[in-house]
Chain A
Amino acid sequence: MNAHKPLIQIKNLTKSFDQVKALKNISTNIYPGEVVFIVGPSGSGKSTFLRCMNRLEEATEGQVIFEGVNILDKKTDIDQHRQKMGMVFQHFNLFPHLTVKDNITLAPRKLKGVSQAEADKHAMDLLERVGLPDKADTYPAMLSGGQKQRIAIARALAMDPDVMLFDEPTSALDPEMVGEVLEIMGELAKGGMTMAVVTHEMGFAKEVASRVLFMADGEVLEDAPPQEFFEDPKNPRLRDFLSKVI
């Protein structure tokens, strides 16, 4: 991997809802293999920031250059680039009318023209990875929250993305199910996947992150490796925040 060339360059990203600025001129780079955690109080703009990266949210100004292309440009075929950016949602958003296997194989089959057999095989591998090979033919309604999120991760991985975006993946889970999801994410990080994670799991961030961003009021106030971030925070608001959550 070329560690010098960023996978995602974010330049002067600004997002306004009517009069309110949710993101104020954010710039940062995400390099291949990096695991960037984004933390901060609710309403700080973390999720908006993440959703701007794959244009689920339209930014007001700025650029997101992904693999050399500014994907915020209206002329860019965003659907092409989204195939390379897996996304995991807080509320899983599995497709209730499809079986677990079909949830995973739908996109590869329809978008990449992968054959059913090949897609199925890949899906079984992914299910193996997330520890749910026996659930292939069940419908999402029969799964627990933790299982749903693991399937959602598998679904996103099925497109072989270059980066994975996680939008508070454990916030909607019962406490006893958080562990199983974090475990999968940890393995993914170890495997070298580039990841951007919005979360409240500070312990997990400390353990897995290559870098942690602290956001408040739409601005990045601290950008540091986890060691420094958690043990020697510079920004007073981050200090205040950490004292409350840890």
Chain B
Amino acid sequence: MRNDHTKSPQIVLLVSAFLVSVLLGIILLACPASASSGAKDKLIMATNAEFPPYEYYDGSEIVGIDVEIAQAIAEELDMELQIEDMAFDAIITAVTSGKADFGAAGLTVTEDRLKSVDFSDTYTKSAQVIIVKEDSPIATPEDLVGKKIGVQLGTTGDIYSADIEDAKIERYNKGFEAVQSLLSDKIDAVIIDQEPAAVFVSQDPGLKLTDEEFTEEEYALAIAKDNKELLEKVNTALAGLKKSGRLDEIKASYINDGAEEENKEEKEEPEKIGGKLIMATNAEFPPYEYYEGSEIVGIDAEIAQAIADELGMELQIEDMAFDAIITAVTSGKADFGAAGMTVTEDRLKSVDFSDTYTKSAQVIIVKEDSPIATPEDLVGKKIGVQLGTTGDIYSADIEDAKIERYNKGFEAVQSLLSDKIDAVIIDQEPATVFVSQNKGLKLTDEEFTEEEYALAIAKDNKELLEKVNTALAELKKSGRLDEIKASYIGTDDGGEEAPDSPGGKLIMATNAEFPPYEYYEGSEIVGIDVEIAQAVAEEMGMELQIEDMAFDSIITAVTSGKADFGAAGMTVTEDRLKSVDFSDPYTTSAQVIIVKEDSPIATPEDLVGKKIGVQLGTTGDIYAEDIEDATIERYNKGFEAIQSLLSDKIDAVVIDQEPAGVFVSQNKGLKLTDEEFTTEEYALAIAKGNEELLEKVNAALADLKESGRLDEIKAGYINSGEEETEEGSYGLKEAIYDNLVSEGRWKYIVNGLVVTLEITLLAVILGIIIGFVVAIIRSTYEKTRKLKFLNLLCQIYLTVIRGTPVLVQLLIIYYIIFASFTNKIVVASLAFGINSGAYVAEIIRGGILSIDNGQFEAGRSLGFNYLQTMVYIILPQALKNVLPALANEFVVLLKETSVCGYIALQDLTKGGDIIRSQTYNAYIPLLTVAVIYLALVMIFTYFVKLLERRLRSSERS
């Protein structure tokens, strides 16, 4: 039932939120005459003008076969054609949403597309063909098996190529980018439409088409499903064009003259920095390269230094991720890469390698007592490697093995020590160091593979390659190379870093608004999930800590490590399995349909075309989407859906079985349909890779099932759910009693108020500090032109903070910047303080500017320095002037803190929400909360006025 939409990672959501305003602005500027303005005579065509000869830019105009066909159709229809150029995969959406009347972009008719749009009669038959290099062995589609294939994102080639066995598909935004990759040997073949292929091949002498086509297909225009009228008109027009021979004329005129212009690629020469030799490395690979203090040392560094000396250049070392090194070299950011890098086929495609300077082996580290002795024993095991290293590449070939990729070698070793993996494949030398430093580890007798290390140099830089090889030869001959290596291998015994494990706490993420699985009883979260989690924690000897948050934040909390697991009546779905692992299911539930007593809806089939309420992100939400013609209303909370059903705003609610039982028993006039909507299983969500916890949880669950305790827990909740039955009409007194007094519900308000005040107070203090500092820096710059750099930083701060919503800032600070920090009050205070500081700064700066310069001169003439003058003379006066504006800012801040419920903080607003979810009463909790905010603001304003009057009285007689 419940479920969250974590299809895209949280960061993407945040970033896109960030960009939305910018995008809106751009869109508004870019198309002042919006496409859907519905001008009568306009026929809007959606296309992607990067697909010659069907559509492409000629100067600033879009031309091509599709354009001419569309033009001819528009003429037949007596309408004006308007062309909208967009991404290929946006075309169908543009048509379905009505932004465009039809799509014409060399669109093949496919099954999938037919689900979204109708197609006109086909106007051309094309084939998907295969472009390869002249010397390629690929001749038929069968030869593509296991190859690297380039396609244009969203095209027919993209769709069909997915079926090629073992092939690696590279999706490019534009066809010519795929062709460029083919030319630079990054891919083996390009699958693309016949006509543009002909153009590409004619422009590049080194390319050819295979004799056999990849597939044949037909192009048609895409038209929105309900627009039968346009479909008919277009088909009529097309028939006319075909009959008159005009269609063939159009096509002929394009396909022959397509080859006029040759694409000239301009290669940017990497600029040679005077006398500097830049080495790219990844300094986490002892003894080849590692940090000693703040310096990078190691065999590679010394060899590079020796080479630089031979070349008479200055060596500069750039430390980067291992898998960024090759890119750095190819892009010219670095002259060469030296990072214990093995010569592999793949890498040779991108860079050249110098002569090898060392032979190494990939070896296998296992625990002392491990049965793994040879590489063959690795089959089916869990193997740790360092991301992007030779071990990573080769281990991918081990049958059935699960490869865990770590950013750093020592992390893999740590995982091995804690039994998360069975073996680590890593280079010989660091392996020796790791084994010597960690008791209980050994190397297997047989090595995993042998390899040779060399320096990576950009392909076109033959000069450097020769120089490096000469230098290496010198080093080898003189014996210096061996000396360097000898001095590193065997001398190392650095300190061990022990992974610190969090002490004894097991953090559960839930959404406590889902009885009987989890809900508030008084100020405590109780329910089936809680008891199960408690039992699991007991079995594991850990202390359970429950974090209440929005349902759709739970998965994120688990993946980001904020919580150890999620337990919230969560159904196992395909999508969720992409983000997290699930424990064994602990309960089987069903999605049921709640309707009003007198409703004609009796089976799921009756839901067709109805208005259906669901809880946002739950299983019901997902499945309800498949109901034909139904309107889905998504509520944040289940009880809100029930309230809507009661007030006839919707026809039915699809929700989990257990809470449904509670809802129906508590509200007169509701019933469940006899037939269930669907059945499902609940399980706990655990971060991927946390196999240890997963196993423990599963073991604990198995125990609970066996002992019968699981059933006890469930029975204890599902029967007692109907304790409270609300009477139809009761007075205001009873309502207030129920909402604010009974079961200590006032505690939500009081505790929430405390949280709100804490956050506000801390944020105000932080805001004042930041505000003062920024204001002083800014006005110092304005007065004296000093502090230029700090002033620039302040301006960036002001621009960013004042240009983005406080809620987005809060989420970014909580989920990204302080992802591993769990004290939410501190995080929220930081977020609001940093936000408020920007406004306070500008207010105070205004105050400083309002003070007469004579005051400043008087202070300085007495001998006060700049800062003293500010503090003793300017700021006291400035503050008095801006007090009203400052007070206003703090009033705004107090009210803004009400969004902190988004990070699951129980502030005043959230407290009211919790009561609302328990009593199904909107008025009392919301009005209570509103009155308290109002009272706070009034009290605060009163004191500010008093203060203002006192300060003013000093100045006036």
- List residues of chain A with CB under 8 Å of any chain B CB: 54, 56, 79-80, 82-83, 85-87, 89, 91, 93-97, 106-107, 110-111, 139, 141-142, 155-156, 159
Whether the Cβ atoms of B864 and A111 lie closer than 8 Å is yes
Per-residue CB proximity of B875-887 to A under 8 Å, as 1/0? 0110010000000
Whether the Cβ atoms of A111 and B863 lie closer than 8 Å is yes
> Which A residues lie within 8 Å of B876 (CB)?
97
> Which B residues lie within 8 Å of A91 (CB)?
854
CB-nearest residue of chain A relative to B955? A141
> Which B residues lie within 8 Å of A79 (CB)?
860, 863-865
CB-nearest residue of chain A relative to B877? A97
CB-nearest residue of chain A relative to B855? A93
Q: Identify which of B855, B860, B877, B955 contacts A56 (C-beta below 8 A).
A: B860
Q: Check if B957 is an interface residue, CB within 8 A of chain A.
A: yes
Q: Check if B858 is an interface residue, CB within 8 A of chain A.
A: yes
If A91-B854, A93-B855, A141-B957 touch, whether A82 touches B877 (CB-CB below 8 Å) is: no
Whether the Cβ atoms of A106 and B872 lie closer than 8 Å is yes
- Which secondary structure dominates chain B's binding surface? helix
Complex: A111 Cα to B871 Cα, angstroms: 13
Given contacts A89-B861, A110-B864, A142-B957, 7 further A-B pairs with CB under 8 A are A82-B861, A83-B862, A83-B863, A89-B857, A93-B858, A96-B877, A97-B880
Q: Check if B873 is an interface residue, CB within 8 A of chain A.
A: yes
Whether the Cβ atoms of A87 and B954 lie closer than 8 Å is no
Q: Check if B868 is an interface residue, CB within 8 A of chain A.
A: yes
CB-nearest residue of chain A relative to B862? A107
CB-nearest residue of chain B relative to A51? B857
> Which B residues lie within 8 Å of A82 (CB)?
860-863
Q: Shortest distance in angstroms between B475's beta carbon and chain A's nearest beta carbon?
A: 53
Whether the Cβ atoms of B872 and A159 lie closer than 8 Å is no
CB-nearest residue of chain B relative to A142? B957
Whether the Cβ atoms of B862 and A111 lie closer than 8 Å is yes
Q: Check if B439 is an interface residue, CB within 8 A of chain A.
A: no
CB-nearest residue of chain B relative to A57? B857
> Which B residues lie within 8 Å of A110 (CB)?
864, 868, 872
Whether the Cβ atoms of B863 and A95 lie closer than 8 Å is no
Q: Identify which of A54, A95, A96, A141 contacts B861 (C-beta below 8 A).
A: A54
Q: Shortest distance in angstroms between A134's beta carbon and chain B's nearest beta carbon?
A: 15
CB-nearest residue of chain B relative to A96? B955
Complex: A94 Cα to B877 Cα, angstroms: 12
Whether the Cβ atoms of A139 and B955 lie closer than 8 Å is yes
Most buried by A among B858, B865, B868: B858
Per-residue CB proximity of B846-866 to A under 8 Å, as 1/0? 000000101101101111110
> Which A residues lie within 8 Å of B957 (CB)?
139, 141-142
A-B contact pairs, 5 of them (CB 8 A): A93-B855, A97-B876, A139-B954, A141-B954, A159-B862
Q: Check if B40 is an interface residue, CB within 8 A of chain A.
A: no
**Residues of chain B from 825 to 858 with CB closer than 8 A to chain A in the complex:** 852, 854-855, 857-858
Whether the Cβ atoms of A56 and B857 lie closer than 8 Å is yes
CB-nearest residue of chain B relative to A141? B955
If A91-B854, A96-B955, A97-B877 touch, whether A56 touches B863 (CB-CB below 8 Å) is: no
Complex: A107 Cα to B858 Cα, angstroms: 11
Q: Check if B956 is an interface residue, CB within 8 A of chain A.
A: yes
> Which A residues lie within 8 Å of B862 (CB)?
82-83, 87, 106-107, 111, 155-156, 159
> Which A residues lie within 8 Å of B873 (CB)?
95
Q: Shortest distance in angstroms between A141's beta carbon and chain B's nearest beta carbon?
A: 5
If A107-B863, A110-B864, A159-B862 touch, whether A97 touches B857 (CB-CB below 8 Å) is: no
Whether the Cβ atoms of B863 and A159 lie closer than 8 Å is yes
Complex: A156 Cα to B854 Cα, angstroms: 15
Q: Shortest distance in angstroms between B231's beta carbon and chain A's nearest beta carbon?
A: 75
> Which B residues lie within 8 Å of A83 (CB)?
862-863
Q: Identify which of B854, B865, B954 contacts A89 (C-beta below 8 A).
A: B854
Q: Shortest distance in angstroms between B709's beta carbon and chain A's nearest beta carbon?
A: 71
Q: Identify which of B854, B858, B868, B955 contacts A97 (C-beta below 8 A).
A: B955
**Residues of chain B from 332 to 387 with CB closer than 8 A to chain A in the complex:** none
> Which A residues lie within 8 Å of B868 (CB)?
110-111
Nearest 4 Cβ contacts at the A-B interface: A83-B863, A93-B858, A87-B861, A93-B854
Complex: A56 Cα to B4 Cα, angstroms: 66
If A82-B863, A107-B863 touch, whether A95 touches B880 (CB-CB below 8 Å) is: no
Whether the Cβ atoms of A95 and B858 lie closer than 8 Å is yes
Q: Shortest distance in angstroms between B398's beta carbon and chain A's nearest beta carbon?
A: 71
Complex: A95 Cα to B854 Cα, angstroms: 10
Complex: A79 Cα to B876 Cα, angstroms: 21
If A97-B876, A106-B872, A156-B862 touch, whether A141 touches B956 (CB-CB below 8 Å) is: yes
Q: Shortest distance in angstroms between A172's beta carbon and chain B's nearest beta carbon?
A: 11
Complex: A80 Cα to B956 Cα, angstroms: 34
Whether the Cβ atoms of A95 and B855 lie closer than 8 Å is yes
> Which A residues lie within 8 Å of B865 (CB)?
79
Complex: A110 Cα to B868 Cα, angstroms: 9
Q: Shortest distance in angstroms between A15's beta carbon and chain B's nearest beta carbon?
A: 16
Q: Shortest distance in angstroms between A147's beta carbon and chain B's nearest beta carbon?
A: 13
> Which B residues lie within 8 Å of A85 (CB)?
861
Whether the Cβ atoms of B956 and A93 lie closer than 8 Å is no
Q: Shortest distance in angstroms between A110's beta carbon and chain B's nearest beta carbon?
A: 6
Whether the Cβ atoms of B863 and A80 lie closer than 8 Å is yes
Q: Shortest distance in angstroms between B529's beta carbon and chain A's nearest beta carbon?
A: 61
Q: Shortest distance in angstroms between B850's beta carbon and chain A's nearest beta carbon?
A: 13
Most buried by A among B860, B862, B957: B862
Complex: A163 Cα to B880 Cα, angstroms: 34
> Which A residues lie within 8 Å of B880 (CB)?
97
> Which A residues lie within 8 Å of B854 (CB)?
89, 91, 93
Complex: A203 Cα to B861 Cα, angstroms: 28
Q: Shortest distance in angstroms between A166's beta carbon and chain B's nearest beta carbon?
A: 12
CB-nearest residue of chain B relative to A108? B862
Most buried by A among B852, B855, B857, B955: B857
Q: Shortest distance in angstroms between A108's beta carbon and chain B's nearest beta carbon?
A: 9
Complex: A97 Cα to B877 Cα, angstroms: 6
